[in-house]
Structure formats: structure tokens, C-alpha cells
Structure 1
């Protein structure tokens, strides 16, 4: 995970602990990397990557605010809903 530099909790014991000694990224930097920066890399920043009028608004709804919880809890956040093309494609428990 970009913030803590650890693998997902269910990755298995061989991946336990920090992935590398480098420091993690800030939460804002990780969110930016996964959204607008990824769109820019794909040359799609005019269509995706941020919530703006005229852009596609695929999104997920999480069970917690990843900006406000302890870093070690981020990996346990669950997706409650996924919306693609304006249609709910997934609704969790």
C-alpha cells in the first residue's frame, strides 16, 4: 500500500511487514496517483480522473474516510458500492 508500504492483510505471511524501507506517500498523493495522475498517464485526463462537469463519473463508495482513519486501518476499508457509467454495478453488504 502506498501510504504504509505494507502488503494487504490477506497477502500471506511471506509478504508480511514493510515492502521496502522507503517512506510511504501521503494519503493525498496516493489518491492523486490513482485518479488524475493515472488519467494523465493514459492521456484521458479530459474524460476521467476527477469529478468535473462533462467527465465520466465512475466512482466507489467506501465504508470509512481514508483521510481520517489511522494508517494501519486503510487496508481494511471496504467498498460499499461501485458506480460505472451511472449504473450501480456492485453493492456490498
Structure 2
């Protein structure tokens, strides 16, 4: 610090997906950003307990516990390893239903988060994690107009319908870059 001076440091842990329960409160206390890809929760949930054990599974994709600790979540897709479509990640964070159908109430259901919290992870949290919150992450005058228009209101539909939601229009930096045909 003496050599470089005080500056904004934002420590983050990428793929903060398999955490020990006693470490989770440290994320909030030490202002560590938990960067995760929600899609992996519903994919890994099919085999996780078998590979890392029941005890370690309790701290897996601990979205709720991390938020409750005061941590910032930063979400992304992890493309090309996982699907680029953000609807799969949104669905995963909100429902935690694994792709094999074996967890209809959600895998480690106490770690589910709300739709609003999920969207904040993809927008506000990710912008903050990359030091760009002054220009993106929220729809605010003076910021880049990076938005999508969907064919469904995510807040008005059953979570199962999230996976069938389509992008109608994409705007980046105030310019239309995608418009679905036949909308």
C-alpha cells in the first residue's frame, strides 16, 4: 500500500461454487465478490454429492448464504463451458432444479434467491466486479444503454417459463444490435 497508495481494490473469487460453511461469512466481512455461474448449480447438482460428499455440498452455490453475509454476487454464463443463454442461469438461481428432474423443489433449496437478486447479480454485481458500475449495470441517465427486451415479463411468469423466454430486441450503448424477426 505504501508504494502504490490507497486505491479501490475489489477482491473476488472466480467460480466461488464449493465453499466451506465457515468461510461464507468472510465474503461479506472482507468485501470479497463471489463470482459464479448459476447454470452450473443445476448441472453440477446431478453428481456433486457423489463426488465431493454430503457435507461439502451444503456450501455449494451458496447464493442465499453469500447474500445474507453481505457479499456481492457477480454472475455470468461461463460460455463456452456452459450455455451462453442467460435464461438458463436465471432459471438455475431462482429454481435450483437440476436438469435430470431429480430435485423438483430445487437442489440445496435453501440457497435459492429471488428473481430480483438474480438479475442484480447479472447486472449491478457484474458491473461492480469489473469496475464499470459508473457506466453500466443499471438503467440510469448517462450510463450506456445496454438492455434487452424480452417476450415475457420475468416477474409475471411461472419460473418454468423462464427457459422459454426469448429476446426480442438488444440495445448496446444505445444502438439496436439485434431485433428478432417476426416479433
Asked if TM exceeds 0.5, the reply is yes
Match of 1:2 in 2: 93
Q: CA RMSD in A?
A: 1.6
- In the TM superposition, 1:46-61 aligns within 5 A as 46-61=134-149
Note the alpha carbon deviations across 1:41-84, whole angstroms, 9 max, x for none.
11111111001111111110000100110011111100001111
> 2: CA distance between counterparts of 1:4 and 1:72?
8
Does residue 35 (structure 1) correspond to residue 126 (structure 2)? The answer is no
Report the structure number with the largest CA radius of gyration: 2
Note the alpha carbon deviations across 1:11-37, whole angstroms, 9 max, x for none.
xxxx43347323421011001111111
Match of 2:158 in 1: 70
> 2: CA distance between counterparts of 1:87 and 1:55?
13
Match of 2:108 in 1: 21
Normalising by the residue count of structure 2, what TM-score does the alignment of the two structures yield?
0.44
RCO higher in structure (CA 8 A, sep ≥6): 1
Offset of residue 6 of structure 1: 3.5
Offset of residue 85 of structure 1: 1.9
Which consecutive aligned stretches of 4+ in structure 1 deviate over 4 angstroms post-superposition? none
Normalising by the residue count of structure 1, what TM-score does the alignment of the two structures yield?
0.81
> 1: CA distance between counterparts of 2:173 and 2:141?
14
